[in-house]
Amino acid sequence: MVPDFKSTVGLPQDAEGPVFAAPWEAAAFAMAVKLCEDGHFTWPEWVACYSAEIAEHEAEAHPGETIHYYEIWQEALESMLAQKGLIDLHQLDHRHEHLRDHPPHHDHAAKREPVAIA
pLDDT digits (tens, 9 = 90+) for 8-54: 455 566 777 777 888 889 999 999 999 999 999 999 999 999 999 99
Sequence-distant (≥ 6) Cβ neighbours of residue 25 within 8 angstroms: 70, 73
| CB-CB contact of 76 with 50 (8 Å) | yes
For range 75-97, the mean pLDDT = 95
Question: 74: helix, coil or strand?
Answer: helix
At 53-66, the pLDDT tens digits run 999 999 998 998 88
Phi, psi of 14 (to 5 degrees): -120, -165
pTM: predicted TM-score of the whole model, two decimal places: 0.70
For range 97-109, the mean pLDDT = 83
In whole angstroms, give the CA distance from residue 78 to residue 84: 10
In whole angstroms, give the CA distance from residue 74 to residue 46: 12
In this prediction, residue 115 carries a pLDDT of 66
Model confidence at 109: pLDDT above 90: no
